[in-house]
């Protein structure tokens, strides 16, 4: 077997793309999207008819200004998600507008709207993950949505504080970022790179995985944001990994042996169980300069892509 086939025996593989052809080619279990990927998808000819449908639907809602554009964007994200669900057996992650990252109730309301749009398209909530940035407010929105039976994917996760708060909130899944953590440390330490086992992103996700398994949290750990296949290989055995098409192809082209790295049956018992209130969370997260910077940057970048999408649709 090639390394992609071997990985699928150890880890649930998720496609990090809105490209239908790539999803059909690599046959992942699930797929994830975000504003950047929806922007790319919106520029693909095969999705042009969905933009027309989104504009027509939004017109029937009677909103104007930003609310009208929100309707177009939400419908489009759901329509693309439905197309992807035709090609995967599992779930699609659809992201709430990143501009709501610091507003718990607005995030919940937008998530309920997205779930309702999916249901109007004949897609049940059990096939959707609502994707929310891992701010304190976002994590609390995830807690409320989970209580309503709506599963969430807490993204832009860089710090151990974020991981602890998400587990305590009982969210379905987290997306700790690997490559972006490495990017920050490369720049901070002025180095070209790291040996695979010393990659700071790999170390971060491994620590979270071990903590969750040691303390019996059900929250799924899904490594994300990979820069190379070595990072993926170092996390073989993680609950899920969301991987771009080009890296899935690199794995498929490699006939070497893939070694299991994370094993839920073999967990080092070394991490004390922590509980964080809002003040504890903000302090612990703030103490991590990398996480503080990358979370803020991630929200800004997703917002810029959302604004570019809106300009394109306008």
Least Cα distance to 9 among 219, 236, 261 occurs for: 236
On whether the CB atoms of residues 106 and 44 are closer than 8 A, the answer is: no
Active site residue 131: yes
Q: Which run of H or of E encompasses 278?
A: helix 278-286
Residues 6 or more apart whose Cβ sits within 8 Å of residue 29? 12, 13, 14, 88, 89, 90, 240
Residue 236 and residue 217: Cα distance in Å, rounded? 20
Strand ranges for the chain from DSSP E? 12-16, 30-32, 92-95, 128-133, 152-157, 173-176, 220-223, 240-243
Per the residue annotation, which of 125, 131, 143, 213 is the catalytic one?
131
Least Cα distance to 130 among 148, 157, 112 occurs for: 112
Burial label for 30, CB within 10 Å (0-12, 13-18, 19+), is buried
List active site positions: 131
């Amino acid at each position: 077997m090639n390394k992609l086939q071997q990985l699928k025996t150890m880890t649930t593989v998720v496609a990090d793309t809105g490209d239908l052809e790539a999803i059909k080619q690599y046959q992942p279990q699930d797929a994830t999207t975000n504003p950047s990927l929806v922007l790319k998808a919106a520029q693909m000819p095969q999705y042009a008819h969905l933009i027309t449908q989104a504009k027509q639907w939004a017109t029937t809602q009677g909103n104007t200004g930003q609310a009208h554009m929100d309707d177009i964007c939400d419908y489009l994200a759901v329509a693309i998600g439905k197309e992807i669900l035709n090609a995967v057996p599992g779930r699609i992650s659809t992201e709430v507008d990143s501009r709501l990252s610091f507003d718990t109730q607005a995030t919940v309301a937008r998530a309920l709207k997205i779930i309702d749009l999916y249901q109007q398209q004949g897609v049940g909530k059990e096939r959707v993950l609502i994707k929310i940035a891992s701010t304190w407010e976002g994590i609390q929105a995830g807690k409320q949505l989970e209580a309503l039976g709506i599963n969430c994917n807490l993204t832009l996760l860089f710090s151990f504080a974020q991981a602890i708060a998400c587990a305590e909130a009982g969210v379905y899944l987290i997306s700790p970022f690997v490559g972006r953590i490495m990017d920050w440390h490369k720049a901070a330490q002025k180095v070209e790179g790291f040996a695979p086992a010393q990659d700071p992103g790999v170390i971060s996700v491994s620590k979270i995985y071990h903590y969750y398994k040691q303390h019996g949290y059900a929250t799924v750990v899904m490594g994300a944001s990979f820069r190379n296949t070595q990072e993926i290989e170092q996390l073989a055995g993680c609950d899920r990994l969301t991987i771009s098409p080009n890296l899935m192809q690199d794995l498929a082209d490699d006939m070497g042996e893939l070694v299991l790295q994370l094993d839920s049956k073999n967990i080092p018992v070394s991490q004390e169980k922590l509980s964080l209130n809002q003040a504890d969370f903000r302090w612990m997260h703030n103490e991590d300069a990398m996480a503080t910077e990358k979370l803020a940057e991630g929200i800004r970048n997703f917002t810029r892509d959302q604004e570019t999408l809106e300009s394109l649709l306008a």
